[in-house]
Structure 1
Amino acid sequence: MAPSPSGTPRIAVVGGGIGGLATAAFLDRAGLSCTVHEQAPAITEVGAGLVLAPNAVRLLRRIGAMDRLRGRAVPLDVGWEFRRWADGRVLSAENLAEACERLYGERTYAVHRADLVAAVAAAVPPGALRLGRRCTSVSVRGDGAELRFADGSVVGADVVIGADGVHSAVRAAVLGTEQQTPATYSGICAFRATVPAERAPDFARRPAQTLWIGPGHHLVHYPVSGRRAVNLVAFAPAGDYTVESWSATADVEEFLAEFAGWDPRLQDLVRHAGRPGRWALLDRAPLTRWSRGPVTLLGDAAHPMFPFFAQGAAQSIEDAAVLARCLADDPGDPAAALRRYERQRIARTTRLQEVSHARAHVNHLPDGPEQEARDAALAGADPLVANGWIYAHDAEADPAAV
């Protein structure tokens, strides 16, 4: 394959979600261009809220996304507010307003996913995003690769970045279909919904990230969209439910039934939700490698993780920043740059996959001695400090640290 006329690598990004768009933005900041191939015909409002911790915020600020989120992202005054399921008693809470910026140089924010996607997309150069482009396979050809699309077209590239999620089509080019560890159903499903602020109880409108924990379930809520709505995400036993899709929905009655017997205030909050989304959480063991020659993986395609540490989007953004720097430092040898990217990222993301996985058991303990010991431990915990290895990390300044 002939190199690009400029001598810089032709970079194809598969997937136009947060990770893929952030990759394009950081590549542009590093002086490299790319084409982002997204299968959807339009970038639309998908998903609900997410929490942006300092490790993501400091990177988003460098591509101008935090300026674009002003008035939409909600700075949290309180975080890690754990409440008991039956009566809402506060087990522990963290004063983010006072401590977060002092410790880590940035606040923690809650944001609607659509607002974040729009803010990151605004940092992508015009013309870089191609919509309605579903990649079906990637083949390594010498020093380059070929991408095949559902419409029959074929595109050559010097670098292919698979930012196409847990069902990645690019992953087979890295691992080979026979070597891929199949995703398994975790036995947990998630509900997501938003409640208009005017219909939400006072306790849910506060700038706080609150986690209600109880037997087999937990529910998280925080304000988004400039405090005009409250985001809910809840986790419950999946039973025989195995649909893993952002577009799948449930009834409010199903959502309420999962939290029958919980604090009436929480029931009231759920009752005012619109039609909730519902999806099964997939479980995948950490990969031991992400790259093969000119092809690599990023975000959920490389390291899908349970959302219990609110780091899925953040780790995609960290990946994007490190990958862009590695390619900019060695544009003449993309394969070496991708290997360096993998070495700098894989230990950190593997650790986060593991701790996120373990959190499900802790949050869902049935009432009894183990639950009482957990609650006592929460009362004496300082999660903001204990998780400093997550929040203090600057992926551009110290990418190898975990």
Structure 2
Amino acid sequence: MDIVSGTDLAPVARRDLSAATDMFGAPFLTVHRVNLHTELMRPANVSQGRIEFVDGTVKHADVIVGADGLRSAVRSAVIRDPRHAELLSTGFRAFRFLVPTDKARSDSHDARGTVQNVVGIHPSTESATDAHEQMVRQFEHYDQNLVQLLRNSKDTNCLPLPFMKPLSSWTFGKVVLIGDTAHPERDHVE
């Protein structure tokens, strides 16, 4: 993975991810969040484990995966301590939008896959009233290829990047917590 400067697209760092399989038992992959959610929501055909939903529906499974985000009902069900639900400010927010790869190719130097996830992290604790305009202003000093991509974006969000006190474990019996449910943190900042 190549990491480049936003101001001039000069290389900043290169991360060799080829050892991921040896270290973690699987290769380094990126997955579109919608696809991950779709797979996690597929009903399991098993006879053990139990989860009851708000509407009264009961499901049984070998493993229950808590992947319901920052305000996780699954985390609250297995950890009764309210301190582990408190979201703390990092002082950062992230502008985020998706752009079709064909569009990104015409605006930038590199694109793979079918959709590119564009995230611009910046110091701020305030909500963006006009996220698109604020994003363009925040990054207007960056490489003009990137600025043009930002100008052409649609449906820009500006989201807080909270964190939470670390949990002692991400597994609780047949429940495993993943993603923001387990460890909300400033993604790619540290």
How high is the TM-score relative to the length of structure 1? 0.37
Equivalence for 1:191? 95
The answer to whether 1:114 aligns with 2:34 is: yes
Q: Secondary structure, in 3 states, of the residue corresponding to 1:194?
A: strand
Q: Which amino acid aligns with 1:224?
A: G
C-alpha distance after superposition, 1:319-351 (max 9, x if no partner): xxxxxxxxxxxxxxxxxxxxxxxxxxxxxxxxx
Q: Which residue of 1 aligns with 2:186?
A: 306
Change (3 A) 1:127 1:89: same
The counterpart of 2:11, out of the listed 90, 95, 107, is 90
- From 67, 75, 79, the equivalent of 1:171 is 75
Q: Find the aligned partners of 2:140 and 2:159 in 1 and give their Cα distance.
A: 20
Identify the residue that residue 351 of structure 1 maps to in structure 2.
Answer: none
1:281 corresponds to which of 144, 158, 161: 161
Distance 1:115 1:87, change over 3 A: same
Using the TM superposition, give the Cα deviation of residue 264 of structure 1 relative to its aligned residue in structure 2, in angstroms.
1.7
For 2:62 and 2:99, locate their aligned partners in 1 and report how far apart those are by CA, in whole Å: 42
Q: Which residue of 1 aligns with 2:113?
A: 224
Q: Indicate conservation of the 8 Å contact 1:145/1:156, yes or no.
A: yes
Alpha-carbon offset, residue 280 of structure 1: 0.7
Amino acid in the other structure paired with 2:139:
F
- Going from structure 1 to structure 2, the CA distance change for 1:107 and 1:272 (only over 3 Å counts) comes to farther
Within 1, Cα distance between the matches of 2:7 and 2:35? 34
- Root mean square deviation, CA, Å: 4.0
Q: How many residues align structurally?
A: 184
Listed as ranges, the gaps of 5+ residues in structure 2 are: none
Q: CA 1:256–1:106 in structure 2 vs 1: closer, same or farther (change >3 Å)? A: same
Q: Percent identity?
A: 26
Provide the C-alpha distance between the structure 2 equivalents of 1:277 and 1:102, rounded to a whole number of angstroms.
Answer: 31
Higher share of residues assigned helix: 1
In the alignment, what sits opposite 2:2?
80
Indicate conservation of the 8 Å contact 1:192/1:276, yes or no: yes
**SS of structure 2 residue aligned to 1:185:** coil
Letter in 2 for 1:305: E
AA partner of residue 8 (structure 2)? D
| Distance in 2 (alpha carbons) for counterparts of 1:284 and 1:301 | 10
What is the CA–CA distance in structure 2 between the aligned matches of 1:234 and 1:197, rounded to whole Å?
18
Query: Normalization by structure 2: what TM-score?
Result: 0.70
